[in-house]
Amino acid sequence: MPNRLANSSSPYLLQHKDNPVDWYPWGQEAFDRAKRENKPIFLSVGYAACHWCHVMEHESFENPELAAIMNERFVCVKVDREERPDVDQIYMQAVQMLTGSGGWPMSVFLNHDRKPFYGGTYWPPDSRYGRPGFGQVLLAVSDAWENRRDQLESQSEEITQHLKESCAGPSTDATELDSGWLAQADNWLWRNHDAKHGGFGTAPKFPHAMDLSLLVEMDSLSGSANRRNMIELTLDKMRQGGIYDHLGGGFARYSVDARWLVPHFEKMLYDNALLVVVYADAYRLWRTEPYAQVVRETLDYVLRDMTHELGGFYSTEDADSEGVEGKFYVWQKSEIEAILGTEASFFCSCYDVSDAGNFEHANILNLPKPLEQLSRELGIALPEMNQRLEASRQKLLAVRNQRVRPGLDDKVLLSWNALMVEALVHGYRATSELKYLEAARTNIRFLRKYMRDSDGRLHHTWRQGVASLSGYLDDYSYLIQALLALFQVDSRAEYLEWATELANIVLTDFQDTDGSLFFTSHTHEELIARSKDVADSSVPSASGMAALALWNLSRLTSREDYRQASERVLTSLAGVMSSSPQASGQALRALQRSQAPYREEILLSPAENSAEFQAAKARLLLTLAPTSLTIAVESSMELDRLVELCPMLSGKRPLGSVTLFRCQDSVCEAPLHGPQIMEELSRAPN
């Protein structure tokens, strides 16, 4: 018989609805019962695409004997970390304090006041892998609760106090922003990159998208051969490795090895959004055609497989299919030979396919050698090679599409959708393909229609027609930035108006007295601590994104209050920028803009549907200039609407033909018009 999770909106919680464990969702009902029955709370946190969450469920939560212990001695609470990032952040910090590391599934024991006293991540059902068995842990915690309660309560108070102190992030004595932090980060990333395989650190290896975006932007402003080599090595190794889906497009969450071969097969919307931005901007900077191919294939994957019919983007695809990790993605050589026939030998030699396999007696498609190198070695012209391999990939993809797909987490998270909107904008800038711009527009309409309260405040999640949970700081800051990114390629007043409304809510509902920002609003549920999201994780720091969004908004609207708010947020991030450059990519991107001259490029057209305007706009948007803002207005009616919102447009009109205004620090050069524009843009440094 289903448990209480059967009524949940979260696909992750619904995965556990038939467990014999008497699960509760996070809420007062569970806490009241724990207090009434004098039982500790067992809190289990995970997400739908998490492989080890599935393992622990199968091994322990479906085990009748272990479930009986859990039901008898604990009140058990299950949380989807993607729905409740506020809960996840706090208890993950507690687990890291207790064990020195963290991850999912996260397992935490709490007292009646929701204060943690013991925790960990995955525990096997019995002792193995150097870990105690889950049953052993349950009995030990129950014994301590019954016989050493004072010790546990003392420990929970100490942990909670440390949590409250750490939630604001690293402290600093800095009172002024220091551009030297950018050089410090540049040096740190150089010293810590993997000179053989690219990326940073060893196995498991994550993409570090925010750091890569920072480095690409740095190189566009001041080129460095070493930095460029570091970026290109990483981007090339990732796109050639098994972490990239060579048939369907898109990236897995991370590689379990140092050389990007074996992915942790789950695909997350946010990873793909953030990596599209990196590859699109790298293409705009260096015109490396394979980077544009990655952008197209990844965005096409999202639009094909991860998009609701109304325009929202789904959250994740699972690592597992038919209960086996990676089964959907791997191949036997014999399968490929049967499908490709005479082309199989050529394909297999390029994509590292063998009888023995490269992963558990099967094959993960990857390119050990770049196609350019193979072209030279095999004496096959690169265009012919690409054409043959593309035909083979399409045949294999058609067969793969007949397999049982991995599980889909079909909830729509506003913050991750906003990241994908920005990715679509960058993809449009890089490729000029209108379908990406239209998908961004459609998603913004979806978010505005379905994920707002009547008072204009945001919902965090939506699934099957129902929006729920009040928005967090990342929902607001990511969406403001997405709207401003969209405005710069599709300059409609509605985007700037909505961004301004959301910024006002951020400063009203999330701001602390010193100008820093809480992750939760003043009206959210009160937890044991109130966190400030100051460091990048797998997604950008919410505060770092807010600093960037407020800075861009201040420049577009000429509002000094937004500029000051951005600087206060940046100052609150000084501790993490100065001490942890590897966790500061998003904040440092905002810092870089705050230290640069104000530059704007404004393109205006005297008539709609102008081919001349579209050509000039495509060339203008293709140039990577991260500290400049662009405005492209084709309609005189839209221009009239925008002047009040965007004072820099005051007095500017097209001069008989398409006209480009270039301005710095509110001083504009003589406008260019007609053929002059394309001549000038063709001389752009990249």
Three-class SS state of 659: strand
The confidence band for 174, taking pLDDT boundaries of 50, 70 and 90, is: low
The confidence band for 2, taking pLDDT boundaries of 50, 70 and 90, is: confident
Asked if residue 178 is part of any domain, the answer here is: no
Asked if residue 181 is part of any domain, the answer here is: no
Of 43, 65, 48, nearest to 133 by C-alpha is 65
Query: Quick one: 314 and 460 in the same domain?
Result: yes
The confidence band for 490, taking pLDDT boundaries of 50, 70 and 90, is: very high
Of 444, 513, 524, 510, nearest to 482 by C-alpha is 444
List all residues 6 or more positions away from 346 whose beta carbon is below 8 Å from its beta carbon.
Answer: 388, 392
Asked if residue 661 is part of any domain, the answer here is: yes
Query: Quick one: 463 and 538 in the same domain?
Result: yes
Query: Quick one: 530 and 629 in the same domain?
Result: no
In this structure, the strands spanning 599-604 and 659-664 are: antiparallel
Average confidence (pLDDT) over 483-499: 97
pTM, two decimal places: 0.96
- End-of-domain residue from the set 594, 620, 652: 594
Query: Quick one: 423 and 385 in the same domain?
Result: no
Asked if residue 177 is part of any domain, the answer here is: no
- End-of-domain residue from the set 545, 568, 594: 594
Query: Quick one: 238 and 97 in the same domain?
Result: no
CA distance 514 to 512: 5
Asked if residue 186 is part of any domain, the answer here is: no
Which residue is associated with the tokens 């593309």? Answer: 390
- Beta carbons of 590 and 536 less than 8 angstroms apart: no
The confidence band for 683, taking pLDDT boundaries of 50, 70 and 90, is: confident
CA distance 515 to 655: 43
Sheet of 459-463: strand order equals 412-413, 459-463, 466-470
Of 365, 341, 194, 221, nearest to 281 by C-alpha is 221
| Per-residue pLDDT, 637 | 85
Percent share of the chain, pLDDT over 70:
99
Task: For residue 198, give the CATH number of its domain.
Answer: 1.50.10.10
List all residues 6 or more positions away from 244 whose beta carbon is below 8 Å from its beta carbon.
Answer: 238, 250, 251, 252, 294, 366
First to last CA, the chain: 63
Query: Quick one: 69 and 215 in the same domain?
Result: no
The 3-class secondary structure across 382-399, one letter per residue, is HHHHHHHHHHHHHHHHHH
Report whether pLDDT(685) > 70.
no
Average confidence (pLDDT) over 255-269: 95
- Supply the mean pLDDT for the chain: 94
| Per-residue pLDDT, 75 | 97
- End-of-domain residue from the set 538, 570, 594: 594
Report whether pLDDT(686) > 90.
no
Task: For residue 63, give the CATH number of its domain.
Answer: 3.40.30.10
> 602-638 pLDDT, tens per residue?
999 988 878 999 999 999 999 999 999 999 999 888 8
Task: For residue 654, give the CATH number of its domain.
Answer: 3.40.30
Query: Quick one: 141 and 211 in the same domain?
Result: no
Task: Please count the structural domains in the chain.
Answer: 4
Burial of 36 per CB tally in 10 Å (0-12, 13-18, 19+): exposed
> 193-249 pLDDT, tens per residue?
999 999 998 999 999 999 999 999 999 999 999 999 999 999 999 999 999 999 999
Of 297, 296, 271, 280, nearest to 220 by C-alpha is 280
Write the CA distances from 240 to 194, 243, 333, integer angstroms: 16, 8, 19
Asked if residue 172 is part of any domain, the answer here is: no
- Full residue range of the structural domain in which residue 637 is found: 599-682
CA distance 428 to 436: 6
- Beta carbons of 436 and 428 less than 8 angstroms apart: yes
Q: Cα 460 to the chain's mean position, in Å?
A: 15
- The dihedrals phi and psi of 458, each to the nearest 5 degrees, come to -90, 150
List all residues 6 or more positions away from 657 whose beta carbon is below 8 Å from its beta carbon.
Answer: 606, 612, 673, 674
| Per-residue pLDDT, 173 | 66
> 290-345 pLDDT, tens per residue?
999 999 999 999 999 999 999 999 999 999 888 899 999 999 999 999 999 999 99
Asked if residue 179 is part of any domain, the answer here is: no
| Per-residue pLDDT, 313 | 98
In this structure, the strands spanning 599-604 and 628-633 are: parallel
Can you read off the two tokens belonging to residue 135? 């049953």
Query: Quick one: 536 and 634 in the same domain?
Result: no
CA distance 338 to 346: 14
- Beta carbons of 57 and 19 less than 8 angstroms apart: yes
Query: Quick one: 547 and 417 in the same domain?
Result: yes
Report whether pLDDT(168) > 90.
no
Query: Quick one: 502 and 644 in the same domain?
Result: no
- Residues making up the chain, counted from first to last: 686
Asked if residue 347 is part of any domain, the answer here is: yes
Write the CA distances from 217 to 214, 230, 237, 248, 281, integer angstroms: 5, 14, 20, 28, 8
| Per-residue pLDDT, 609 | 76
Query: Quick one: 392 and 527 in the same domain?
Result: no
Query: Quick one: 470 and 532 in the same domain?
Result: yes
